[in-house]
Amino acid sequence: MHSKDPKAHDAFESLTRTLGRGFPEIEKARKRSTATLSKLQSVCKRIPIPEGLAVVAFGSLARREWTSGSDVDWTLLIDAPTAPEHFQIAQAIAQELEAERLTKPGSTGIFGGMASSHELIHHIGGQEDTNGNLTRRLLLLLESRALTDSSPLENVIRQILRRYIACDPGVSSLDHGHLRVPRFLLNDVIRYWRTVAVDYATKKWKHGTSGWALRNIKLRMSRKLLFTKGLLACFDCGLHPHEPNMPKNPSPDIVAVCLQERVYSLCRMTPIDILCQSLSKHSTPDISTKILSAYNAFLHTLDNQQSRKALEDLGPETAHKDTVFEQMRSTSHEFGDQLEHFFFDGDPQLRTITKKYGVF
């Protein structure tokens, strides 16, 4: 899983060819995502966006998992001195997207507004690192696509990674030419996953059963896949510690730069692609097929308006009687079980790194 691999962003297609079978719902979602992304990029061209700003998409669109019920999660990313007119720009973006009759972002306030690079880069950990800031930062790394000029997004991601890696004592003290697992970043990936799980429980407490079943299934599937991407982006540096372009006897600073570039390249892959790339190197065809089949079934359910509506309206008190929920619950168990086999029961090197860095 190397940064210079030209096939990295087509890892799903490569693995399906190796397996000799297709996953039509995943394939359809990827095609729809490309078409929708192109449409939204055209919409955003109607609005003058100053230098240093970018409209960034998140969610299923950025993950290339767009279905008929997907909403558009977006943020106006500001990598420049803030100005009052930025608020008007964000309002104009919202109006243009609403005019296209696209589903609005959720009501949490995380999306549909502005985000400053200052907080994203400098407020990592500590009391100033709110749940909202943590969420925006990790989603920039794990699922983001620019709808306008991509330069601000790319720069902010690089600076976030620089902060994680430059401030990681295990990296900055390197005296050899091998990459290491970036623990500072890995700890925040794990913290984000636990925060998502806690927020799920909080929403149930505050909002009751509204949307409960759909959130439950997404937590078990797409949110878990996003966490898997974060783990693999960090673990890759331990699984493949040699960087071909690194000079002989490099300084710790050079090693840190190479590590940053490796992680940056992995972060720009979709969760499906980075998983497939790792499955092709460290797993069996049987486990790979079961994981992708489960995710294929998940996207099929989300793309079915009747099934999705049933999940949106379903509460926990009657979930055990609902056919759609029980089917998706079984699918999510298969997905989770096979991911556990992948990380813990297969490749001994991956198992060792998972136990060393992911558990203790």
Work out the average pLDDT over 254-273: 93
Average pLDDT value over all residues in the chain:
90
pLDDT band at 204 (very low <50, low <70, confident <90, very high): low
- Cα–Cα distance, 56 to 50 (Å, whole number): 14
pLDDT for 192 equals: 96
Q: What is the pLDDT of residues 328-349, one digit of tens each?
A: 999 999 999 999 999 999 899 9
Q: Exposure pattern of 133-162 as b/e (b: 16+ CB <10 Å)?
A: bbbbbbbbbbbbbbbbbeebbeebbebbbe
Q: In one letter, which amino acid is 56?
A: V
Q: What is the DSSP string of 123-166?
A: --SSTT--HHHHHHHHHHHHS-EESS-SHHHHHHHHHHHHHHHH
Residue 352 lies in a domain: yes
pLDDT at 1 over 50: no
Q: What is the pLDDT of residues 288-318, one digit of tens each?
A: 999 999 999 999 999 999 999 999 888 888 8
Work out the average pLDDT over 77-82: 95
Q: What is the pLDDT of residues 170-200, one digit of tens each?
A: 665 555 668 889 999 999 999 999 999 988 8
In total, how many domains does the chain have? Answer: 1
Of the candidate ranges 134-143, 172-181, 345-354, the one whose mean pLDDT is the lowest:
172-181
Residue 1 lies in a domain: no
- Cα–Cα distance, 80 to 64 (Å, whole number): 28
Work out the average pLDDT over 73-98: 94
Answer for the pair 75, 113: CB distance below 8 angstroms, yes or no. yes
Work out the average pLDDT over 14-40: 96
Tokens representing residue 314 in the block: 């379903």
Tokens representing residue 256 in the block: 């840190």
pLDDT for 320 equals: 84
Range of the domain at 330: 8-164+176-359
- Cα–Cα distance, 77 to 156 (Å, whole number): 9
pLDDT for 196 equals: 93
Residue 3 lies in a domain: no
Residue 60 lies in a domain: yes
Work out the average pLDDT over 119-127: 94
- Cα–Cα distance, 204 to 74 (Å, whole number): 24
pLDDT at 140 over 90: yes
Work out the average pLDDT over 16-45: 96
pLDDT for 255 equals: 85
pLDDT at 4 over 70: no
Tokens representing residue 204 in the block: 């149930």
Element housing 27 (H / E): helix 24-44
pTM recorded for the entire structure: 0.92
Answer for the pair 143, 62: CB distance below 8 angstroms, yes or no. yes
- Cα–Cα distance, 14 to 269 (Å, whole number): 14
Tokens representing residue 72 in the block: 């558009």
Percentage of the chain lying above the pLDDT 70 cut: 91
pLDDT band at 242 (very low <50, low <70, confident <90, very high): confident
pLDDT at 244 over 90: no
pLDDT band at 2 (very low <50, low <70, confident <90, very high): very low
How far from 298 is each of 88, 225, 251, CA to CA, in Å? 38, 12, 46
Edge-first strand order for the sheet with 74-78 is: 113-116, 74-78, 53-57, 145-146
- Closest by CA position to 218, among listed 137, 328, 73: 328
